[in-house]
Amino acid sequence: MKAKIPLILFIFLIPWILGAEPPTVDDPQAWKGLTPEQIERVKQGEMVILEEPAQEGQSDSRLIRCAMILDQPIDKVWELLIYTPNQEKYLSELNRAELVKRQEDQDFIIFYVKLLFISLDYQVNHHFEHDNYYMWWKLDPEYDNDLAHLEGYWRLYRIDENHTLARYGTKLVVADLIPNSIQEYLTRKNLPASLDATRKFINSGGKYRKPGYKEK
């Protein structure tokens, strides 16, 4: 005789069988930190960088945060974001992204960048929480990084079948000797261009390439 699955067990398995629903903009966390005026600007298609850094992420660091809408379904946005070597295709300051190791829930990437007249390389460990459409990253302490500190995150919320709210946060410290106020200023100055390139890449379905990029 075949064993029968208890009804209560079947009920608990339904979400796993059907797949977890993605977070939506009805989640109170979706618009956290944004004023009603800023929310309206985001809904009108503007990329909004919050005025005051917030204490979020994997430490007590002050992350600079942003909110914007991407013109792709949430699963497509997630697919493009979590393959992190893609970043060399659209970020102008990034010369190369070398994949070191990739697993289901994380990867290790060496980034080779040029900031002003300085060439830097550093290894980042990205973590992927697929069910929550949440990825976060930090420097790999085992690598001889040219940065003092780096952390950040992407968190996605479904708007409808073709649009996704993306929340982003980052903190970059090139050197501990540079005052935090100067490093925050430089991050805010460069962030709009980097996020705009990311948005172009996502909205094009991964087809956009930065000027001068040569396919491998």
- Per the domain annotation, does 2 fall within a domain? no
pLDDT digits (tens, 9 = 90+) for 89-142: 999 999 999 999 999 999 999 999 987 778 899 999 999 999 999 999 999 999
- Per the domain annotation, does 5 fall within a domain? no
- Domain range for 112: 22-203
Between CA 79 and CA 200 the distance in angstroms is 15
Give the largest Cα separation in the chain, rounded: 74
Element (H, E) at 183: helix 180-203
- Per the domain annotation, does 8 fall within a domain? no
The beta strand positions in 56-205, using DSSP E, are 62-70, 94-102, 106-115, 118-129, 134-139, 149-160, 163-173
Q: Is 22 helix (H, G, I), strand (E, B) or coil?
A: coil
pLDDT of residue 2: 45
pTM for the model stands at 0.85
- Other Cβ atoms less than 10 A from the Cβ of 23: the count is 19
Question: For the chain, which ranges sit under pLDDT 50?
Answer: 1-18, 56-60
- Per the domain annotation, does 215 fall within a domain? no
Find the angle CA(194)-CA(135)-CA(203) to the nearest 5 degrees: 45
